[in-house]
């Protein structure tokens, strides 16, 4: 019986081999002089054939007490999920990060706006080390994260021995903080510098103003580069626009290949809408796809939202979406985004983030809120004010005009303050730097307490 034979085969092979390569296998047919084995996906088939074909043939011949040949075939699993959770990926022992299985090269539409980024990413996935580092920048929702995951997914399938690490700069910072708190930096460094072959770091703009994390990242990069490991960095700004980044780090970023993703044109957006629908087996008529391409602009997350909505609609009504539905959905998405934007900038952003920042500064300097806004020129208070202005600019992304309103100072006083702190940092003023780090830690603390 097929299952019994498979079980006997399993017992004859090493556990590691089984787990990594054959856990998805099935014996499909036992013929007189041939055994047919099905495997979870086509890439697995090639590798298993090459690596274990002979061993499996010999073992099976042994068990069956007759000379059999072995052939492998890929089991057609549910087609809509063909790139999802291939069992091989699931059991791969070297997997260091979670990857979105929908973000693969095959599901990425190549157009004028992203061609360079796409091909560089593909090149990196196929020959790691060739363009090192690769730095991809572009606005939110244009496919950067998609490409990073595509690199990872490609490598998992084609170079299963590579240890691929993906994380956002924020994750990196959080892990570092955790390591510092538990006095475990050795382990942290070992983990990032020694146990990674491909390092994919997303949204590095998050580290603007976070100097100590930048320094750590710089050393991580150096160590990886020096041992020939591939690094890919994504950011919503160009290296130059990361102006407050440590110059050493910026020149590292610029050392390899820097590519840009631009906004897709309407034609590409049309194809993306079609592709996204195709990926979830949604039928999308040409006129609806055109409508989406014309009306859902720039941020492709919205396009994805629209497609998911259409999918839901189709499921519920049992009818393919027509133009009227498409219009409604697009309208509601646009409206929702307008409201979210309002909410983000005013309520959530200003009250939570800015408040946390102000509180942290007050705590660090041990002063009262009203002193901050007072006309006092006491050194402690004016320094606190300067640091706050600086941080509101860098972290709060507020402009000088709003900061001066908030702190009740004039425009030039505020820009002077910001410049002064910036200079102190550049000149390596330890006191200011430690104040800044303390405040940042306090903010982090509050964030995790929330």
Out of 20, 25, 41, 145, the only residue in the binding site for Mg ion (CB under 5 A) is 145
The label of the residue with tokens 């007490």 reads: 65
The answer to whether residue 121 forms part of the interface with ligand ADP (CB under 6 A) is no
Residues 68-107 that bind ligand ADP (CB under 6 A): 103, 107
141 binds, among Mg ion, ligand ADP, none (CB under 5 to 8 A by kind): ligand ADP
424 binds Mg ion (CB under 5 A): no
Nearer to ligand ADP, 82 or 301 (CB): 301
Q: How far is the CB of 147 from ligand ADP (least distance, A)?
A: 7
User: Could you give the C-alpha distances from 169 to 50, 89, 164, 213, in angstroms and in order?
Assistant: 39, 24, 16, 9
Distance CA 168, CA 205 (A): 10
- Distance from C-alpha of 447 to C-alpha of 367, rounded to nearest angstrom: 21
Q: Point out the residue whose Cβ comes nearest to ligand ADP.
A: 143
Question: Bridge-partner residues for 257, per DSSP?
Answer: 134
Tokens of 331: 């309208």
- Residue 442 interacting entry, from ligand ADP, Mg ion, none, C-beta within 5 to 8 Å by type: none
The single residue listed with the structure tokens 């072959």 is 197
Between 45 and 146, whose beta carbon lies closer to ligand ADP?
146
Cα 255 to Cα 251: distance, rounded to the nearest angstrom:
6
Q: Per CB under 5 A, which region of 86-94, 142-150, 274-282, 403-411 contacts Mg ion?
A: 142-150
- Applying CB under 6 A, among 88, 109, 121, 233 the residue interacting with ligand ADP is 109
Q: Is 269 in the site for ligand ADP (CB under 6 A)?
A: no
Cα dist. 119→124, 127, 250, 261, 298 in Å?
8, 12, 23, 12, 21
Q: Where are the beta strands (DSSP E) in 26-163?
A: 26-30, 34-39, 69-74, 134-138
Instruction: Please answer whether residues 99 and 152 qualify as being in contact, where contact means their C-beta atoms are separated by less than 8 angstroms.
Output: yes
For ligand ADP, give the closer residue by CB, 311 or 439. Answer: 311
| Contact window for Mg ion (CB under 5 A) among 124-132, 145-153, 159-167, 330-338 | 145-153
Closer to Mg ion by Cβ: residue 145 or 386: 145
Q: Which residue is nearest to Mg ion (CB)?
A: 145
* Min CB(413)–ligand ADP separation in Å: 37
Judged by CB under 6 A, the stretch of 26-34, 143-151, 224-232, 417-425 that binds ligand ADP is 143-151
Q: What angle do CA 351, 357, 360 make, to 5 degrees?
A: 130
Among 282, 300, 307, 330, binds ligand ADP (CB under 6 A): 300
Q: Give the residue with the Cβ less far from ligand ADP, 26 or 301.
A: 301
Torsion angle defined by CA atoms of residues 279, 285, 286 and 291, in that order, rounded to the nearest 10 degrees = -90
Transcribe 409-426 into DSSP letters. Answer: --HHHHHHHHHHHHHHHH
For position 146 contacting ligand ADP by CB under 6 A, the verdict is yes
- Of 143-151, 184-192, 243-251, 274-282, which segment contacts Mg ion by CB under 5 A? 143-151
How many chain residues are in contact with Mg ion, going by CB under 5 A? 2
11, 140, 323, 352: which one contacts ligand ADP (CB under 6 A)?
Answer: 140
Contacts with 411 (C-beta within 8 Å, 6 or more apart), sequence order? 400, 401, 404
Write the CA distances from 436 to 10, 214, 379, integer angstroms: 58, 14, 16
- Give the binding range for ligand ADP (CB under 6 A) out of 73-81, 135-143, 320-328, 433-441: 135-143
Question: Within 13 Å, how many C-alpha atoms sit on residue 421's CB side?
Answer: 25
Which listed range, 13-21, 139-147, 248-256, 361-369, lies at the site for Mg ion (CB under 5 A)?
139-147
Q: Is 145 annotated as a binding residue?
A: yes
As a whole number of angstroms, the distance between CA 216 and CA 219 comes to 5
Rounded to whole angstroms, the maximal C-alpha distance in the chain is 96
Q: How far is the CB of 203 from ligand ADP (least distance, A)?
A: 8
Residue numbers at the binding site for ligand ADP (CB under 6 A): 103, 107-109, 114, 138, 140-146, 272, 275-276, 300-301, 304
Q: Which residues are annotated as a binding site for ATP?
A: 141, 143-145
């Amino acid at each position: 019986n097929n299952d019994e034979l498979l079980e006997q085969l399993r017992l004859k092979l090493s556990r590691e081999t089984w787990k990594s390569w054959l856990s998805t296998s099935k014996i499909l047919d036992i013929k007189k002089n041939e055994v047919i084995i099905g495997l979870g996906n086509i890439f697995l088939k090639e590798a298993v054939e090459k690596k274990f074909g002979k061993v499996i043939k010999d073992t099976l011949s042994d068990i069956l007490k007759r000379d059999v040949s072995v052939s492998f075939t890929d089991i057609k699993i549910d087609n809509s999920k063909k790139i999802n959770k291939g069992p091989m990926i699931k059991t791969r022992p070297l997997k260091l990060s979670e990857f979105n299985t929908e973000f693969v090269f095959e599901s990425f539409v190549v157009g004028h706006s992203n061609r360079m980024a796409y091909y560089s990413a593909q090149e990196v996935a196929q020959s790691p080390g060739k363009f090192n580092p690769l730095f991809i920048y572009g606005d939110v929702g244009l496919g950067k994260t998609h490409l990073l995951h595509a690199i990872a997914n490609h490598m998992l399938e084609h170079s299963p021995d590579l240890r691929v690490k993906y994380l956002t700069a924020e994750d990196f910072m959080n892990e570092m903080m955790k390591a510092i708190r538990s006095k475990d930096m050795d382990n942290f460094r070992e983990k990032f510098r020694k146990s990674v072959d491909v390092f994919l770091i997303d949204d590095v703009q998050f580290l603007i103003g976070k100097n100590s994390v930048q320094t750590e990242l710089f050393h991580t990069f150096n160590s990886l580069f020096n041992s020939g490991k591939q690094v890919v960095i994504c950011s919503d700004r160009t290296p130059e626009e990361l102006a407050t980044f440590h110059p050493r780090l910026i020149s590292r970023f610029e050392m390899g290949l820097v590519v840009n993703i631009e906004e897709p044109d309407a034609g590409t957006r049309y194809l993306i809408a079609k592709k996204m629908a195709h990926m979830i087996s949604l039928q999308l008529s040409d006129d609806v796809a055109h409508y989406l391409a014309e009306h859902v602009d720039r941020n492709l997350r919205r396009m994805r939202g629209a497609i998911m909505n259409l999918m839901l609609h189709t499921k519920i009504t049992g009818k393919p979406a027509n133009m009227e539905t498409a219009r409604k959905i697009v309208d509601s998405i646009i409206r929702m985004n307008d409201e979210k934007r309002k909410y983000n900038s005013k309520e959530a952003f200003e009250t939570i983030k800015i408040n946390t920042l102000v509180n942290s500064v007050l705590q660090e300097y041990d002063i009262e809120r009203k002193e901050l806004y007072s006309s006092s020129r006491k050194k402690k208070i004016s320094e606190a004010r300067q640091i706050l202005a600086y941080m509101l600019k860098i972290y709060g992304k507020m402009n000088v005009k709003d900061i001066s309103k908030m702190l009740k100072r004039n425009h030039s006083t505020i820009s002077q303050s910001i410049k002064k702190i910036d200079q102190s940092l550049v000149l390596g003023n330890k006191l200011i730097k430690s104040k800044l780090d303390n405040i940042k830690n306090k903010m982090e603390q509050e964030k995790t307490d929330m």
